[in-house]
Structure 1
């Protein structure tokens, strides 16, 4: 990936005509009254817990991964409004944790039937829309950074659809475009014939270019390093790792080596550290260690948070549900994180990635028509 205001060194390799236009220069938005009050309160507070709540009032959490769609499909009944159910994420806990946006995963279990994968993904997208439509006072669908900010400013939690598994595309760019038209904004590039252990095939590279043209983010959590590095070279939009910590601290296959973290930082990608005990450790301090490490190696503009709530993942003690986010931010405040870096961690970096995808798409659509490539023609 190239920074949106710089030329790619790999332009000849990845396609010189795909260079994105630099985003227009704009004056920073003035904080609204509630944000100013929260920031003033943060300055006055000495207690880390109070400072954490004040900061999150101004810069809420953009949670990079929620498993609610698949969990809701398994439940015969749930109460999203009062929290009187087995869900980890519901309105009271999301409000208590100061969550301003969530990416709702529409991942489906791996299986041999590709057609069923596509259908199950469509069913989950439909479920997301039904749930959001049934709770208009709490949730609002969002497809990009502007819609996420609008939802937050209206007191709603922005609900973004994705990631979906790469297999959900059915090896079809037409299916990618159809899913995007339904609101999908992230696809996980792994576990397919064109994005596997051996790296990206020519069709896989065309998938990435078409995702850039549409404004769909590429998620590389779980992808092989050779695939990740090739996507970083081909993509003109920010690349994200939706559930990856630091392998130097915890040797999990989804976690990133320091070398890859440095490349993510150079490309202005985004690594979202999961609150999952198996990946980052069983305590708040260990999660904070991963956030410290990613911030140090990749940079403060390239680190975010994924709750991984309502999944099969076990969570660190004290972070059993989204209401624990202030506890994590308080730990980082005690470690000396500046408020500017905390604001990037919770809200700003996810917004930057979404904005980058949107800017890239607007530029690419001026130069490229919808791709007609097929996997048989390019990889056959």
Structure 2
């Protein structure tokens, strides 16, 4: 039993798994910034500069619904462009997207063994799409693989988040999904991660996620669950789709006190580009980014396109080609290039490195857990 209660630590220690990120990513940049052309209108200058910054520090997009969207289409062409989608290869390139997390979330009504099977089907489809477009897309799990894909001119695709129901309450399934490529798991809609927080089995799930290298996603999680995971996890956590509740009340948006906790824990809050959560204009999205940067720190805020999920997007941010417009708005507001580099690329790299560092250390200390939900919560 002592093994199952393995050294928890306060939230303030979570950030220690990784050294503070430098203002720029450490990896070599293979694509030089674009040379600015003639500027006829002063208002165009921030957009020209935004494109140059993104050429060196592309967007790591925290959430895309593309796999599920593709499943619903009888035919598609990602190479030439697909009007039925928010993202295709030409628009990803135009938007300077260097990495993207492909969601494996399921529609309502999937639970138990059905959820496990449906998640495996989504993962299989996602991997097949990447393999079929291997001159433009590359599967990635680690920070180094993500940077390598970017430096070869490909978009790195990371698989996840998946829903907690995909585990079927089994740590063996968790490890198997990770072996197949799963990188992020959302801790909601499970009996062991609910309104009251984590149960004993839920704490063991978090420890095993740390050991395997699966990152915890806490968007839509209850406040008790968020606080429990910030305390229990030794790896950085992320919020794949959360903005500032003070600016836009929404169940997934975080109140200021939790944003401060995320900053202390060196987590990552990824602001979704949806009108429902962030507001109807690009300026509204920038307001959320300013607010979270002020409370949690520039190293704890990121971007989540949330494209191809059926959500309405703010004006000027209708698809993945529009990221330069958002970056231009931030540059107008006084964000400097190191801060933008963290927002678009460096912060995701830090979280990936932190998860891998924690996994390596945990695997030296303890074997795979054999605990079951009946053992701990029965």
TM-score (norm 1): 0.91
What does residue 190 of structure 2 align with?
192
Q: Is the 8 Å Cα contact of residues 215 and 358 (structure 1) preserved in structure 2?
A: yes
Separation in structure 2 between the aligned mates of residue 12 and residue 372 of structure 1, nearest angstrom:
18
Separation in structure 1 between the aligned mates of residue 6 and residue 120 of structure 2, nearest angstrom:
35
Select which of 295, 300, 303 maps to 2:301: 303
TM-superposed CA distance for 1:359, in Å, is 0.5
CA shift in 2, pair 1:196/1:144, >3 Å: same
What does residue 217 of structure 2 align with?
219
What does residue 151 of structure 2 align with?
153
Separation in structure 1 between the aligned mates of residue 333 and residue 19 of structure 2, nearest angstrom:
36
Separation in structure 2 between the aligned mates of residue 14 and residue 183 of structure 1, nearest angstrom:
28
Residues 39-188 of structure 1 mapped to structure 2, 5 A cutoff? 47-111=45-109, 113-188=111-186
Q: Is the 8 Å Cα contact of residues 14 and 266 (structure 2) preserved in structure 1?
A: no
What does the per-residue CA deviation read over 1:350-380, in whole Å, with 9 as the maximum and x for residues that have no partner?
1100110000001010001000010011011
What does residue 287 of structure 2 align with?
289
CA shift in 2, pair 1:14/1:34, >3 Å: closer
Separation in structure 2 between the aligned mates of residue 203 and residue 95 of structure 1, nearest angstrom:
43
Select which of 311, 317, 340 maps to 1:319: 317
Select which of 15, 31, 34 maps to 2:31: 34
**What is the SS of the residue equivalent to 1:305?**
strand
Q: Is the 8 Å Cα contact of residues 302 and 348 (structure 2) preserved in structure 1?
A: yes
Q: Is the 8 Å Cα contact of residues 138 and 157 (structure 2) preserved in structure 1?
A: yes
Separation in structure 1 between the aligned mates of residue 15 and residue 291 of structure 2, nearest angstrom:
30
Matching of residue 250 in structure 1 with residue 248 in structure 2: yes
Separation in structure 2 between the aligned mates of residue 193 and residue 31 of structure 1, nearest angstrom:
44
What does the per-residue CA deviation read over 1:140-165, in whole Å, with 9 as the maximum and x for residues that have no partner?
00011111001001100000000000
Aligned residues: 366
Matching of residue 267 in structure 1 with residue 265 in structure 2: yes
What does the per-residue CA deviation read over 1:97-126, in whole Å, with 9 as the maximum and x for residues that have no partner?
000000000000121542111111000000
Q: Is the 8 Å Cα contact of residues 21 and 299 (structure 2) preserved in structure 1?
A: no
Q: What RMSD over aligned residues (CA atoms) do the two structures have, in Å? A: 2.4
Separation in structure 1 between the aligned mates of residue 7 and residue 118 of structure 2, nearest angstrom:
39
Separation in structure 2 between the aligned mates of residue 14 and residue 207 of structure 1, nearest angstrom:
16
CA shift in 2, pair 1:86/1:328, >3 Å: same
What does residue 352 of structure 1 align with?
350
Unaligned runs of 5+ in 1: 1-9
CA shift in 2, pair 1:310/1:183, >3 Å: same
TM-superposed CA distance for 1:312, in Å, is 1.6
Q: Is the 8 Å Cα contact of residues 218 and 239 (structure 1) preserved in structure 2?
A: yes
**What is the SS of the residue equivalent to 2:31?**
helix
**What is the SS of the residue equivalent to 1:345?**
helix
Select which of 246, 254, 279 maps to 2:277: 279
CA shift in 2, pair 1:152/1:377, >3 Å: same
Separation in structure 2 between the aligned mates of residue 272 and residue 25 of structure 1, nearest angstrom:
18
Q: Is the 8 Å Cα contact of residues 21 and 359 (structure 1) preserved in structure 2?
A: no
CA shift in 2, pair 1:232/1:196, >3 Å: same
TM-score (norm 2): 0.92
TM-superposed CA distance for 1:316, in Å, is 0.5
TM-superposed CA distance for 1:24, in Å, is 8.6
Separation in structure 1 between the aligned mates of residue 360 and residue 296 of structure 2, nearest angstrom:
27
Q: Is the 8 Å Cα contact of residues 20 and 360 (structure 1) preserved in structure 2?
A: no
